[in-house]
Amino acid sequence: MNKILGVIVLFFSLNQVFATDFVTIDTTKRWILSNNRIDYDEIHLIPFQKSKLTLNTLVLQFAENGKIRYDYETNSKFGSNTEIKYLDINTSFSAWEIDTVNQLLLLTIQAGYETFDDFRFKRSYKIEQGTNGLVLKQVSEEFFADLRKESQASVGTLRKPLATPLVQVDYFEKIQTLFDKSKKWILVRNRIERGDIQLTTYDESKLTINNLVMSWLENGKIEYEYESDPKIRFCAGVDFLDIDTDETTWEFDNKKNILTLTLKGGYASLDDFKFKREYFVEIIDDGFELRKIKEHYFNDYRNRGREHKGIRKRKERVKN
């Protein structure tokens, strides 16, 4: 009898261990992809820390509603490298979900190093806790489609437009709404110097605390201000991106769907940094995603000694 009870206790103990051993995904966390080859059998993710950044590091987030967000960030100690191949992910197609029954991560990805259309796959992964973060180990594959043609194997790094010739006109007509001077756009996060830029259509209901709201003017200039939810009266400790609008310009190539942005600004002063970049304009659910495809230059005027020190905080900003 005691042996039977012992077996039962052991059975339930093991079940409890396995039940609590399942690693879940925190949608608020950002992860460093330690190897940009997301199409490998194993994917290694390190919890985001600035000190762990190297040169053009891919930072990934498994966001809410199965969305995947990413950008590239660089440790300022590293110089430039034109030989880096960027992994570009089509976030409109890519998605993730948790199979709670089998305790697996289901990942659907369309991405590539030459274009958005290099490959597409749907796989399931076992999530394991590694010494430095998470390890996604492939368990099964529903499909893997290699969309590359031999003639494209060594072609540049510019991305192809997502629209096909049949819908290209309508696609670019929608993109033109971004540059309507009467429209305002909310910058989803104020770190405009980090890789991609996400803009959502302006609506007062979307305002939280000190949101940067911008408009693209016809003369290649931009206009911006900060707005908050009217119910919020005060907020300390917010980093404001200040943009030197006299030194900031943009132009859009409608045929290639390329936005060229030259921007000077900063958080401690207007002279923190200046860059010139090219972006591919992608339509998303409620706005636009500007995907960085080329950097002409990035001049960081900040002293390294100030890099990790506190920067100027404004306790309150009054909407004009």
* DSSP string across the chain: -HHHHHHHHHHHHHHHHHHHHPPP--TT--EEESSS-TTSSEEEEEE--GGG--SSEEEEEE-GGG-EEEEEE--TTS---TTPPPPEE-TTT-EEEEETTTTEEEEEEEEESSSTTSEEEEEEEEEEE-SSSEEEEEEEEEEEEE---GGGTT--SPPPPSS-TTTHHHHHHHHGGGG-TT--EEESSS-TTSS-EEEEE--GGG--SSEEEEEE-TTS-EEEEEE--TT-----SBPPPEE-TTS-EEEEETTTTEEEEEEEEESSSTTSEEEEEEEEEEEETTEEEEEEEEEEEEEE-S-GGGTTS----BS-----
Mean per-residue pLDDT, 54-71: 88
Identify the band that residue 248 occupies on the pLDDT scale cut at 50, 70 and 90: very high
The 10s digit of each residue's pLDDT in 167-218 is: 344 667 788 899 998 999 999 876 788 778 889 999 888 888 888 999 999 8
The 10s digit of each residue's pLDDT in 65-85 is: 899 988 888 776 766 666 667
